[in-house]
Amino acid sequence: MNLFLYWINEDGEEELATPPLDGIILPGVTRQSILDLAHQWGEFKVSERYLTMDDLTTAVEENRVREMFGSGTACVVCPVSTTLYKDETIHIPTMENGPKLASRILEKLTDIQYGREESDWTITVA
């Protein structure tokens, strides 16, 4: 599963961030599809960058986290509402905030997967 953070970054920009492919991160098809869609929409910054737990905890404390979600073949998109760090449960406000982006991505990807929406990602087999 790949992890995405939708937040207001340290520079005040709305950003969707996920760790870069560095040999440890799974180069998932769903991950790449989400990055491609977000780039196509052009509504917020899209980044492949390292995020630390300090980044996350600070952003949560400063109310800059909008959503966090995982992605993968089986779940497509799965909202994250808590994470455990140093024996402390950190509440992520994904569900209180919608989850508008995670839901939008899930709907778009499944519409493409099930042929409800045309895409250059699909090939019709007759």
pLDDT band (50, 70, 90) for residue 82: very high
Count structural domains, the chain: 1
Using CA atoms, how far apart are residues 58 and 111, in angstroms rounded to an integer?
36
- Residue 119 included in any domain: no
Mean pLDDT of 31-60: 97
Q: Do the bridges between strand 76-79 and strand 65-72 make them parallel or antiparallel, or are there none, so unpaired? A: antiparallel
DSSP string, 42-96: -SSEEEE----HHHHHHHHHTT-EEEEEEEETTTEEEE--EEEETTEEEE-TTTT
- Residue 77 included in any domain: yes
- Residue 122 included in any domain: no
Mean pLDDT of 48-74: 96
CATH of the domain at 104: 3.20.10.10
User: What local confidence, expressed as pLDDT, does residue 123 receive?
Assistant: 81
